[in-house]
Structures are given as structure tokens and as C-alpha cells.
Structure 1
Amino acid sequence: MPKITIQNMNAVEFSADTKKSLLQNILDEQIDWLHSCGGKGKCTTCKMIIKEGGENLTPKGSVEKNFFALEKLKENERLACQCSFKNKVEQDTKLVICVGNENKLPHIEYSAC
């Protein structure tokens, strides 16, 4: 299974299910991750910064393309609710992400990203 590392949450690392969104994988690990609209792609609160391995994610869909056009997402950012690993990723595939400053939860201590 591919691995997800959340760099600024003390490098939390876990295996991911390629059939689920990244947000669902994160929530399945009982990691607090902001997602105000419930993972429906209507906000940008589940935004993540891709540090490494973004080429292994599914292409941007219409929801993310719309947020890019509105300049609510930068080139290295994706919505965790709108992407997943590509179906045929290698077992040792690694994705390194960070929580953006505007999406940090107040009860969690984050390290530098």
C-alpha cells in the first residue's frame, strides 16, 4: 500500500487505501483534519500542500480546476476530499503533505513544513 506522511504533524505516516479519497484515509487514521463541508468539495478547508509524490494522485477534476481558476488553490495544493492515489501506484509510493497555515486546527501543535 502507498504511504502518506503529514510532515508538519510530527511526520505522521500511515498506509493508504487507493480506493478512498485522501481525506477519508486521513480520517480513517483518526487524524483531525479540517473539512467544513464534510468532504463534498464545496470549500477549501481540507486543502493540503503537496511536498512530494503529487504525480501519483488522480488528475484534478472540475471542482479543483474551479478553485484554481478562482485562485483559491495554488499549483502545489490539492483538496484532500477530491483526490486519491492513482489505481496502479507502486506499493512503495510515498506522498508527503502539509497542512496549510489557514487550515490548521487550534488544538493541534504543528511543526514547520
Structure 2
Amino acid sequence: MAKITVIDYHTFDGEDGKKLSNQLVDHKVDILHRCGGKGRCTTCRVEVFEGAFGDISDIEKQSLAKKGHTQKNIRLSCQIRVNGDATIKPIMTKSNSHLEPGPRPEE
């Protein structure tokens, strides 16, 4: 089990191998995922303070670049899987955007 610390929320036990976006939803973090986890909308962005989520995929890289998000510590939670302890901060949430989250990303 990984310890996932979500700044401004809480810490929870994450399950290695599962998508970060779904684990955030399951642990009551109101992160957006407007495209349903397809890596297109970038609303599920998180800032990674600690932890490694592996190499960035081409889909993730292209989607972030297309929207002007080029910082190395910004990742799409629907495109990364938990693989150890991490500290992150959701960038867009239902609370700060007043948007509906979107369909649950497929596992």
C-alpha cells in the first residue's frame, strides 16, 4: 500500500497499479475528470510534490502541451498509476471550478 497525501485534503492508503484519478474519487477528493479518463481535457491535472509516477505517455504529453501546461511536475491523474508514496495537489476540483466532475475514468 502506498501513502497518498493530498494537500488540502487528507492522506489515504493508495493501491499500487490503480489509476490515481479513480483513487482520488474513491477517497472523496473532488477532482475533475471531464473527458472520462481519456487524457484529452486535462481537468484532472495534479501537481506532484513527491513521488514518481513513471514516464509521461505521448497522450499525456501532447494533451498537456496543447493546453500550455509544460511544467514537469504537472501530470494527468487519469493517465498515471500509483506505484508508491506520493504527495500531490489537485489543480481543478468541483469546489474551485463549479463544474461537474465528469464520468468516472475507466480502470
TM-score (norm 1): 0.73
1: CA distance, partners of 2:95 / 2:82: 29
Q: Could you tell me whether the CA contact under 8 Å between 2:39 and 2:63 is conserved in 1? A: no
2: CA distance, partners of 1:98 / 1:7: 5
Aligned to 2:90: 99
Aligned match of 2:27 in 23, 26, 29?
A: 29
Q: Could you tell me whether the CA contact under 8 Å between 1:23 and 1:80 is conserved in 2? A: yes
Aligned to 1:80: 77
Alignment: residue pair count: 96
Aligned match of 2:58 in 58, 62, 87?
A: 62
Measured after TM superposition, the shift of residue 62 of structure 1 is: 1.2
Measured after TM superposition, the shift of residue 73 of structure 1 is: 4.1
Q: Could you tell me whether the CA contact under 8 Å between 2:48 and 2:87 is conserved in 1? A: yes
- 1:51-89 superposed Cα distances (whole Å, 9 cap, x missing partner): 111x2x121111112134333342110000000134xxx
2: CA distance, partners of 1:25 / 1:73: 24
Q: Could you tell me whether the CA contact under 8 Å between 2:30 and 2:93 is conserved in 1? A: no
Measured after TM superposition, the shift of residue 105 of structure 1 is: 2.6
2: CA distance, partners of 1:59 / 1:85: 13
TM-score (norm 2): 0.77
Kindly name which structure, 1 or 2, has the bigger radius of gyration based on alpha carbons: 1
Q: Could you tell me whether the CA contact under 8 Å between 1:4 and 1:96 is conserved in 2? A: yes
1: CA distance, partners of 2:18 / 2:62: 22
Partner AA of 1:36 in structure 2: R
What stretches of structure 1 of length at least 5 have no aligned partner?
Answer: 87-92, 109-113
